[in-house]
Structure 1
Amino acid sequence: MRHSHNTAEKRRQWLRWLPAAVIGCAFVIDYSTLGGVNVFPLLAAAPGTAAPLLSLRGTIATGVAANVAGLILVLLEREPNRDDLVPFTSLILLTVVAAVLNVLLARDRRQLRTSREVAAAVQRAVLPELPRRVGPLAVASRYEVAHEEAAIGGDLFAVHQTPHGVRILLADVRGKGLQAVRTVNALLGAFREASDHQPDLPGVVRQLESRMRAGAAQADGAEAESFATAVVAELPPDHSVLHVANRGHAASLLVHDGKVHVLEPATPSLPLGLGYLGGDGVPVDRFELPVGATVVLFTDGIDEARDPEGTFFDPVPVLSRPLPSDPETVLDTLLTAVLRHTGGKLQDDAALVAVTLVE
């Protein structure tokens, strides 16, 4: 989230210079044409430009500066006369209108900021940050929102140490808003319970599937058709092998010694909530996990991110180079690359988890 926030803040800082640039352009045009072009319409645009970008004081100051600039341009060419009353009165009137507009926009921004804070609080309550260490695994996680106005999404992750090993969940629920939050909350609760009580990974997946079906049966409308793509993984107590159940989700990546192995499932499976369409079997794949290797899980906000030409982002080349055995560095490297690919903004929310076997 911090990457996209910093990019947006830099963009806003540059835009704050736009009203001053408009007034400067008026001076340049008037000077280059020796007063042959009426630049008052350009000066009139300055306070309107300032209204959504600056504070009330800044908007009024821009209007005053536009009036002063207009007066200076007139005095440089001739003596003011009665014909100048209309353009100067229009400038004053437009400054007042811009000030009123600024007040209204500021009120809306305050309301939006409050909504964002509430949404962020809900997101943190439902999806708290993961601990940096869980059993033998170093853990890092990120949640990047595509739009500041839509801080509540359907991406989720969890990592729990249990008597049966360390269990990991990363999922992407269909939809957004309160509907998605209810499903996310239900899945996280079901995962915590199943992780502690189910002796094997298929049992965890079946309990998640049952919870999705129960939620759909009690809902109506779009929520009744909800489903979630997911990766459910397990590192047993002896750390011998990584077990992965992929439910219609993008394949995770194993990064080790400058190489990337795509953890493709041998048998495709339907997303959680749709498992009844394909039988009750839960295919589980097994992968070697050497000490120092990092497993990267992500939602479709990463692999479906597009550049201006519509080319999808491929995380494999980015991670196919020597990287420290540090999940934080791996995720930072991946996020920097995907934001560079998209021009600084994601098209969809993205959740990422990286775990490194350190012992």
Structure 2
Amino acid sequence: MTPVELSRTVLRAMRHAVDAGELSVAVPETVGVERPRPGGCGDYATNVALQVARAAGRTPRQVAEAVAPRLAAEDGIAGVDITGPGFLNITLTRSPAEALVRDVLAHGRRYGHVHPDTGQLAQLHAPREVRALVVADAARRILRSQGTLVRLTCDAAPDPRWADVLGVRVDAYGIPPQPLPGLRPVPAPADPLPLGRDAARWALLHPAAHDHPRTDPAHGGDLHLAQRESNPLFRVRYAHARCRALSRNAAALGFDAHPGDVHPHDIPHPQALLAALGDHPAVLAAAARHRAPDRLARHLVVTADALLAYQHAVLPRGDEKPSATHRARLALAEAAGTVLAGGLSLLGISAPAYL
């Protein structure tokens, strides 16, 4: 069961409790599930009981006690425990790692996207400044991934090179008659175009909006072009390329990926990579909500570093024969590569298969 499916299951259990008269409260349209925090247990946890307790006229624990038995009776749920003031801790019947990998591979680069469209509309307006427009362009892409239709405007006609080199597209330009909520990050200190599209966009998007981007060669701008570990963009793109290389090498050894249980006692441990993949939908939602592409960029670095630390366990070594474990590890690596490719695409950056 994927996190999205589990969220729907929690809501269904709550509706059953309401229909049975055990609760009197409006059931939320959505509910979040996440990995248990310290003190929790199981595969996932939700704080929905705390969210609706006041409206239900009950304590959070009483709400949780009404929902827990019905949730435990749902298919795919092995057990439900109540911890703290009223957190529902859920144990699944299938390995959560396998379910997560299947979910990523099933959705491909659209993993974490919202479908169908929500019907929401957003207006983004930016000054005629290269970083502001690149940030707005990436924010538009991320918002679109979350089912929102976006219109991007600018104070004046952008430099045509910003479209040709950086891929920026503006729907209209001109000073609006009324002030609009705008994106005004710290401007680029130097022209980023000499860096090329991928490095320039990363240089402008990776820092938070209030941080100064490095686009001046005299102040580290050329580091975005460096093919070494100290360059976060290189690590992200290299991790994606390594994933594609693992798939090619596995095919040469006569096996392919198949999602399965990835054991937590594996060396190196897969938890960091699984956590990064599981967090991806929430990162996209937060990046869209805050119009902050830098959140996605930093998350891609975390995912890439976790994959690079895990990659050495994927393929058989020495006289080892390919096994179900190797196929499951390869599926996990391919899921990570899929997330990296999808995230880079939303930032307007390419994800080469060879690097």
The answer to whether the superposition gives a TM-score over 0.5 is no
- Indicate the structure with greater strand content: 1
Structure whose alpha-carbon radius of gyration is higher: 1
User: What's the TM-score, normalizing by structure 1?
Assistant: 0.29
